[in-house]
Structures are given as C-alpha cells and as structure tokens.
Chains A and B, each alone.
Chain A
C-alpha cells in the first residue's frame, strides 16, 4: 500500500497552554499550562483518563478553540493570533482533524469518493496539487468501495473512509481523536497501519488521542495528559515523568499509588542522575 502525493510534516508546539471552559456560570480549566513539542513527521499519541484534556488539546491544535492563554504554533502559524481566513486556509491545506466516530467525518449522502473530492475542494482552490480521490482511497485500501454508499460500508471501512477524507488534502498534520474506537481488532490494525503509512510515506505529523493501550503501544511516542497538564511521556516503551515549566514533577500513576499526598521526598544526585528518596511516607 502506498500513498501518492508528498508532503512534509508540520511542527507543532504549545507553550503554557491554558484552556478554560465557561458554561452556565461555571469555569472549568481543561488545560492548565501544557508545553508540548511535536517534530515534523513525528507520530505522537495523547493518552490520559477521560476529562484529562486530550480532546481539548487536539481541538486547540486544530484551531477549533482559541486558547484562553498561552501559545499554539502549528507550522508557521500561531493559532491564538490567527485570523479566520488564516485558519480556514490552514484547515484547507495543512491540518486535518479526524473527529471521534467515522460518521462525523463524512457527509452521509456522499460516497467515499465524493467525500474525498469534497474534502479536497478548498485545498484545490488554493492551488495545491492533490491526487485524485481514487488514489487517496487506494492509499487506505478503499479503492473497491470508492462508490459504495456509506450506509452499506462496514465500520472499519467507514473509519478508513474518514481517514482518507482527512488525508485528502495531504495535510502536514493529522489530528485524530480516538480513530480506532468501536472497531474490532482487525479493523483497528488496518486503520493504524494506514495512519502509519501516511506518516511514513507522506511525512505527515500525526497526533492521535486514544484510550486504547494497544494503540498507545503502537505509537513511538506518547504523552499522557493528566489534570490538564502533561503528566508523563513514553518513548519506545519507556515511561518518563516530565518536569513542568514551573518546576513541578507529576508522578507516574503507579508511583502515585505508593507515594500518597503528604509524603516527604528528597532528591539525591548520583552519577547516574537524580534519585528520589521518600524520607517519610504517609500510610493509608
């Protein structure tokens, strides 16, 4: 399986990113100072419990929300300062957001082919050279279903169609929110493989929100969002804690279970680095 058309990945970075939801007089901080850097062509997973702020972060990267504070850089654009026209152009050419649930990414009355063509419309107007819809669909293995009504496709094929639509304009950044939810294993693997192909063959930067540990294991780099902050990072199977810009160090979950709040720790410098020593543990 190969994808026609080339692109280059888009760099993503956030600095002290804060987002607050306001609803019926209440304010909820979804993100409380997130620093994140994703290199061009990198494939990153955003992990974390429900309500941690993963999807909010994804929406901020897509320019759907304006951050309450902080900066978001997607390629050359700083999204908090971007005009609607700049955002439209960015979405047309550079950033694709795959919403959770295949149907939310597809116009229900169109075939996969027509959906891809529709998704390419705005990018084509900017003069971007794009492959034909058939080629895009072939890229995700849907060439046979190009003209099949959506309602008759399997869930896995629909998700592939949604991926094809997201990749239709050959974006530099693919933001995918739970792209494998509600799929069986085979379909999930197929979708992940297609995303990986896009990342590998087109150089597209990929940020995936997922709950699925299997998906997380598939990704070379994962970032765990916890309580609106970056709570940890995994690289090649190794999990790291990440020091926040204001000097806090979120403990990994398994450590938190052991070191209850109030526990006194101290850091000891050794030749291999810092060792954390719990001086006075609090019992449950």
Chain B
C-alpha cells in the first residue's frame, strides 16, 4: 500500500540500494574474474614446457666422477614420476617418461660428433620418419636429416659410442656401445617435446673444452638405457614430463600448485636420498608469483574506484533517505500525536523504508553478476568458470549492513525530532553560515583524511577513499555556502528589480534540495572527472610504455651480422628509408656500460616512436655524417716528405727529446694501423719517409699523430708533401690537403694540433703540446671521437662529455656526448645513439652486434616484401616484435583491467547524480509546484515561471559540476601515484601522471550536459504542473 503511494521513491531507493550492493558485490567478483583471466592467459602464454612439470632423476654417489668405473643407473622414470604427490597429479596430464644420456662417438676425437641420446615414451608418434623406421629395440637409433648429411649416416649404419669406463683388474676398460641407425626422423613440433629441439646442433662446434663437433639428438628405444645387455652410458638420467592440465587448473589451484611445486623442488634438492637426485623444474611458481603480485595491484585499483562509487551511492542514499524521511515528517508527527512515541515513529518509517532498501540487495547482486559477466566477455580474456564465492557473500552481507545502518540512521534523525518541530511545514534548518554538528564532523573527518593523504601520512584502504572524501568536503562546504549566498544574491536581485532571477535564487536558497544537489553533483562530477583522468592517464602510460618497449610499429630481428646485405635488401624495398630502417644494437658486457644503438638518423627519427614527444630534429644534425671525402692510400708502402719542420720537444728537465710522427690508417678489414713515419730530433728542412703499410686493397688515412715523453712539451710546425702509395702496379699520389679535410685538435690541457693549408697537395700542422705524450689530429671523414646522443648517465670514469662506447666493430671507441635524449626507444636507460653511416666507416660489424629492422607500420605486406628481399640476399629474420603485441602485454594485466572500471564508475556516478535530481524533484514537487502556482496566480507569465523553475536548480548544478571537476582533478593528482598502472614497472620509465585534459574536459562537459539537461527538464516539468489548482490542499 505504502509502496504504491510513492512508487517512484521506492524504485529510486531500491535502485540506489541495488547500486550500493552491486558496488560491494562487483569488487570481489571482478577481482576473482581478473585473477581467473590472468591465470588463463598466464598459462596460455607460457610454453607447455615451462608451465608443465619436468623432473630429472640421476644417481650421484659420493666421490663419483666420470671415471669412477662404476655403473650408476639412475632411478627408473616410473620412480621419478612417483615423486609427484598423488594429490597434485589431477592438475597434470599423463606423464611422459624418458631417459637421456650424453654419448661420444668413438674414438672421441674433436671431429667425432657427440650429443644427446634420448628415449621418450611414445616418441615415434611425434616424429615423422623420412627414411627407415623408428627404433624399437635396444641399441637402435634414429637420427636427424642434418646428421645423416653431415656425418654420412644412413639406415643400417652402425655408430659406436663410448660407455662408462669400467675397472677390469688393473686396467680401465671403456666399453664400446654399438648403435644401429634404423631411420631418419623429422621432429613434429608439439607440446609433447616440452620445448626440446631435437635438431639444430648438427655440425655446430661446441667450443667448450675440449672443442668438439655436435650431433642432433638421437632417439633410441628404452632398452638402450635399462637393458642389462647394454653397458651404461655417461650422464644417464631418467626424465619425466608432466604436462599441465590447464582446463583442470583454476586460479586457486595455480597458487596452491605453485607453492607445492616449489616445496617439492626444494625437498628434492635438499634430500637426495641414497645418492639419487631428482631435479624438479616448473615455471608454475613464477606464474603463481605473478598472479599474486598482480592480484595485489588489483586490490588497490578496484577498491579505489568501487569505494568512490560506493561512497557516492551511500551518500546519495543517505541524502535521499533524508529527503524522503523529511517528506514523511507529518506522518511521524501523526504517529507521535497518536501516542506511538519515538519508537513507534521509528517503526512506522522503518516498516516502510527498510524493506524497500533491502529489496535492492537481490537486484544489486544480479546487477553485479551481470556486470561481471559483461566484463568477462568484453574486457577480460580467457574463459574461466563463473564463481560465486564466500567473498561475494561477505560483500552482500556488508552491503545489507550498510543499507540497514544508513536507513536506521536516517529514520532516527527524524523520529527523534520533537513533535513541535515535526508539525512545522518546513523543518527548521541552520541559517546563514552556521554548521550543524553532523556536518562539521563529516567535513572535519573527511578533511583530515584528505590532508593526511596529501601529506603522505596515510596508507592502506582508507587512503583509497581520499579522492571521494575530498569531493565530499568540497561538496559539503560548497553546499553550505550556496544557500546563504543564493539568499543574499536573490535579495539583491529583487532590490535591483530583477524579479525573475531574484525569485529563482530565493527559491533555491529556501529549498532543502539545493544543498543536497550541490553536494551530490559535486561528488558525482568529481568522480566522473577522476575516473576519466585515471582511465586516460593509465591508457596513455600503457601506450607510452608500449612505444618505449617496442621502439617502432614493428621491429624485426635479423639473423647474423651481414649489415651490407641487409642495407642492400632494404634499398630495394624502400630506397627512401621511409618505411623501414636498419638499427644496429650493441650491448656491452657489464651493467655499467652504455649500450649503443647505431641508427640512420634521418630515417630513425621518423620511424622510431618517442613516447612523450620526439626530440628536437636539430639534435640529429649533431651526429650527422661529416661531408668530407676520405683520404685513400693504396700500396704496400707509402712515401711522404716532412718539410720545414720546426718541431721541438722539451722534457721536464729542459733537455730536448725527439718527436715521433705517425699516421693512423684503417685497412679494408676495419683494423687501425699505427704507422710510425719517423723521429725528428731537431728542426729539419726536408725529411723523406718511406714506410711499409699493408694497404694493397686500399686504406684510409684517418689521423696524424705526434708522440713524445709524458710531460714533455712539443712546439713548432711541419709540412707533409708528396704522399704516395707505392705498389707493384705503380705509384698512387695522394692529396693530404687542404686543411678543411682535417679536424683541428684543441684541448685546454693537452694542447693543439692545427692544420694549415690551402693547397690540396700538402698539409702543414702547427703543434703546441702541453705535456701530453701523444697528440692526434683526425681526418674529418672519420672523426676520432664518435658523436653520440646519450640517454641516462655516462659510464663511470667518463670525463665531462667524453666517454667510451662499444662501436659496431665490438671495440671501444672514444665518444662525445653532443646532446642528451630523455630516452632511447626500445633501449635501456643508459644508451648512446650514434650514426650508423659514421660508425660503419672503416669498421667491420662484429658478430655480437644485433641487427634490427624498424618498421614505420605494422604491415604484413611490407614485412613480407622485406623478408623476401632479405632472403634474396641470404639473410633471415628470427622474429618480430610489434607495438600492438607489446601493448597487448600491458593491456592484459589486472592493472589495466582494474582501471577500465573507471569508465563504468564515471558513467554510474552521473546516473546516480541524475537520480538525485529526479528524487529531489519528486520529493518536493508538491511544495514547489504550489509556490509556482502562487506566482502564476499573482500574474507571473507562464514563460517566466518556466524560466524560474529551471533557474532554481540549474545554477546549483553548474556550481556543483565546476567544483566537482576541480575536486576530481585534485583527487586524481593525489591518488594516481598509488594506482598501479603496470603489472611490472617497465625497464625504462615513461611514467607521466600529468592530467589527461581531454578526458577531464570531456567528463566535465558530459556532467554538465547530463545533469544540466536533466535539471532543465525537471524544472520544465515542475513548471508544467504548477496549475493554479495546486493551491488547493491536495493529498
């Protein structure tokens, strides 16, 4: 009956209660779903070999060595398999049993192949026999195609391998084990092999002493290992592989299983009973750790967001209940006048409101379930079963308790009022700026939490509510100020003759709904803005981290160091370098050294992704290739005249010392040759030089150096003329000048070497040495110091901007930091970027260099074209990394999933605020329409009444949205530092918690449109119902 009388209120209260319950119930279910999804993708992403369990059993008796001359059979695979406790076996599939040994072909020379011999149960079903048959008896083997080709083996051939040496009286006998080749296999790549590659080693020399050639893995029959007729083989071990049964393993199983496996591995290592050692390997403990870590993160973000929404919903419910209980004051008064007392009045209200409130619990749970179901299909990957666990029950109970408490408190507030107050049509309110005790307590409490949080003095769950509490403080203070200010403004408007505005403001000032609206709109707008900011900041940071991690839209790794072939292939596909560019990466040993990234600057700056903005294009000019021709010398020796020398060197004791002069020459292999031209003891007019050099294929003259004793000075000048490369085929005159081909050396401490010459055929140098033992002047074509753009700190021991980096030849080169980069894409924090064209000069690329191709677009067709072009040049790609793939890695984490809730929260906050506007209007419409009807009766035109009805609420909404946006912004700045944005922090941080202004503006506008429009429509609806008949008393 009572519900029918105010059905809309009942629906509104039940809806809010449902929202609160949904907030409470959603958090644990979404958390659970995230963990399930995380478990699913963690297992799916992990290779079967890592996710599964591998056990290896060996026997190691004390003092046992390779030559202990005792048979040491390992425990059988069945025994090893039994080590896995029975209760864990349900999580795994059937074990794959096996044996392995390391066999050496006789007689054991370095050219005799050695490698693994294995048996695995059911192996013949997982290889394709391209020739012969799968072994089915002891002593039979199947070999790979590569082994057949490399070692000339075929079906029917016999290979003899060495067994374990045995004592035979005084002698040690090495038994010879004949293995008969029955066929040639091709491996079928599937999970059965637990990541074991049978091939790829044939013919590859293992440099581990003693160096030897390797064969691929040979397959044999079980009897080869455990038949008494076969001698034992070296390094014999039994193996067991348990494949993980992913379908049977849920999130809880993974966590428990991870711990169990870790314990099993520890126990096996600690307790090698009877010399038997069982090693256990599984990646599952790491997966479990990752899930735990990400779960911790989700327990920050999900409650952070849901707590704000829950807080909003609770506050709204509180205010709505205050409004509806206020509306029921006459009914409470009646109950009191009929002698029912406070208790009876409470019962009257609770009897009506509590069932309505609690009626929202079930829909709330259903809403949460639907929300989680939606999230599971649209946001979360995986297909784990839906679970409703104890945390859900606890959350629902908590929600019911909160709902009951809020309802009881709201009812108590009214039922305690004296009858005298209850009988007044308009309840008494604090006037002016005075604060009620409850309001003061709430503002002080919430404000204290916010201040504590902002000053870093607050952690833990309560900190998560700080943004919401900040919005409450702002909303309540603002709400409190609004009423008196509106009253003052209204009176001023009236005095100035602006009746419409005056009446609207005064209406707002006297309406109890105004404060409520300001407070809730502020809180909801703050939440919308905070959520939008958090969502977009998270998205931006994941995008930045992805760009930093990937480096480009697509990066392909090249097999081998054939840079010339790579560049030729790229020239064919993309001659302008707009779509793909080569990058050479050199990672030096030692953690303190900078890694080197050699790039083609013009291409790299367009193709590489620079999160946060590309560097100034002018920076790239600083590592540009000098525009100078090299000085090339060809011949087995060179001749040169050193004329007009006034060079003198003086030791510390004042005695003269000879000056050595020389050339730096780089040969065709990239090797630097230091060529001594001769010594000049005193000034000389003409000194002819003739020295041998290994430059038949051509060399580059890259530097001229002078050397003396450490501490001795050098002063004077000399002119080099008539440089000639001499070879059997004839003389090759070489121009040394003019001076601009040389880079003057000038160092405040060491001194200077200055080139002077206008004549291309000769070069004069002026030298002033302060005591350095050697002064070198470089040829411009190949600077002695490599200019580099550097990110991070220079390596320890660097001098000012001078440091050493690993060049593409693998050697250390002098380098100079010419500018600083904030970060280098896809590179460690400390990275030096150099010009590939420059460092390639006179250098051969080292085999340890990694060549990558960076693509401007993730385009399969382009990749196919490049792959084909590379293939034609004999170059393969080993793999690719795409920006989308890296991004997916960041997106598929609880951190990202949690933040995606923000969109839901922001929208829900606005819906709740809209609901408040509607409820406020519904609970006060009789009074307000009567007021408007009175105005209508006094001759105010309908249009003005409509405008007044709108203006009575719209300013409060606008003020609330503006204040909420500000509170949301500040709240985001406070809270975002504690929000985990990544599952694991990226190696190079691109963290940027700056405000996402686009999102903030959008959320603010969204709040203005939704709430403003709602307010206008409500105002019009009230004006439309303000018929003069409203003035008559109505029920």
Contacts and interface: CB of A to CB of B under 8 A. Distances in A.
B1035 A59 contact: no
Contacts of A107: 331, 334
Contacts of B337: 62, 64, 91, 96-97, 99
B2 A122 contact: no
Interface in B318-345: 330-331, 333-342, 344
A88 B1035 contact: no
Contact of A103 (B340, B419, B1035): B1035
Interface string B1-42: 110111000000000000000000000000000000000000
A104 B330 contact: yes
A63 B341 CA distance: 13
Interface in B41-57: none
Interface string A79-93: 000001100111111
- Is chain A's interface secondary structure helix, strand, loop, or mixed overall? helix
A52 interface: no
A24 interface: yes
Contacts of A217: none
B728 interface: no
B420 interface: yes
A93 B1 CA distance: 27
Interface in A199-245: none
6 contacts: A91-B338, A96-B337, A104-B334, A122-B338, A150-B1035, A151-B1035
Contacts of A59: 420, 423
A88 B339 contact: yes
A107 B5 CA distance: 11
B927 to A, nearest CB: 14
Nearest to A168: B338
A151 B6 CA distance: 13
Contacts of B1: 109-110, 114
A62 B1034 CA distance: 26
A93 B338 CA distance: 8
Given A64-B420, A65-B420, A110-B1, A84 B334 contact: no
Interface in B65-94: none
Contacts of B420: 59, 64-65
Interface string B405-428: 000000000000001100100000
A85 B344 CA distance: 12
A116 to B, nearest CB: 10
Contacts of B749: none
A88 B340 contact: yes
Given A84-B341, A88-B336, A121-B340, 9 more contacts: A84-B342, A88-B340, A92-B338, A99-B337, A101-B1033, A103-B1034, A109-B2, A123-B339, A168-B338
9 A-B pairs with least C-beta separation? A92-B339, A109-B5, A122-B339, A91-B339, A88-B341, A109-B2, A119-B338, A122-B340, A64-B419
Interface residues of B, number: 25
B431 interface: yes
A122 B331 contact: no
A182 B1032 CA distance: 9
A89 B5 CA distance: 30
A7 to B, nearest CB: 15
A109 B338 contact: no
Interface string B335-372: 11111111010000000000000000000000000000
A122 B344 contact: yes
Contacts of A150: 1035
A109 B4 contact: yes
Contacts of B334: 104-107
A140 B1035 CA distance: 21
Q: Which of B5, B342, B431 has the most CB of A within 10 A?
A: B5
A118 B335 CA distance: 8
A108 interface: yes
A108 B5 contact: yes
Given A108-B1035, A109-B1, A109-B2, A64 B341 contact: no
A103 B331 contact: no
A14 interface: no
A261 to B, nearest CB: 35
A169 interface: yes
Interface in A121-165: 121-123, 150-151, 155, 158, 165
Interface of B: 1-2, 4-6, 330-331, 333-342, 344, 419-420, 423, 431, 1033-1035
A154 to B, nearest CB: 12
Contacts of B4: 109
B1033 A122 contact: no
Contacts of B419: 63-64
A61 B4 CA distance: 36
A89 B344 CA distance: 12
A258 B335 CA distance: 49
Contacts of B331: 107-108
A165 B338 CA distance: 9
Contacts of B5: 108-109
Contacts of A108: 5, 331, 1035
A65 B336 CA distance: 13
A63 to B, nearest CB: 8
Nearest to A63: B419
A61 to B, nearest CB: 13
A152 to B, nearest CB: 10
Nearest to B1032: A182
Contacts of B333: 104
A94 to B, nearest CB: 9
B339 A90 contact: yes
A105 B331 CA distance: 8
A182 B340 contact: no
Contacts of A114: 1
B936 to A, nearest CB: 20
Contacts of B338: 91-92, 118-119, 121-122, 165, 168-169
B479 to A, nearest CB: 21
B340 A92 contact: yes
A153 to B, nearest CB: 9
A24 B344 contact: no
A84 B4 CA distance: 34
Contacts of A104: 330, 333-334
A182 B339 contact: no
Interface string A52-85: 0000000100111100000000000000000011
Q: Which of A85, A106, A121 has the most CB of B within 10 A?
A: A121
A97 B333 CA distance: 11
A24 B432 CA distance: 10
Nearest to A150: B1035
A87 B5 CA distance: 31
Nearest to B425: A104
Contacts of B339: 88-93, 122-123, 169
A93 B4 CA distance: 31
B1033 A121 contact: no
Contacts of A65: 420
A108 B2 CA distance: 9
Contacts of A89: 339
A102 to B, nearest CB: 8
A102 B330 CA distance: 12
A151 B335 CA distance: 20
Nearest to B343: A88
Given A105-B334, A108-B5, A108-B1035, A99 B341 contact: no
A91 B336 CA distance: 8
B340 A99 contact: no
A130 B425 CA distance: 32
Nearest to B2: A109
Contacts of A63: 419
A19 B4 CA distance: 42
Contacts of B1033: 101-103, 155, 182
A237 B992 CA distance: 91
Contact of B431 (A24, A92, A106, A168): A24
Contacts of A151: 1035
Contacts of A84: 341-342
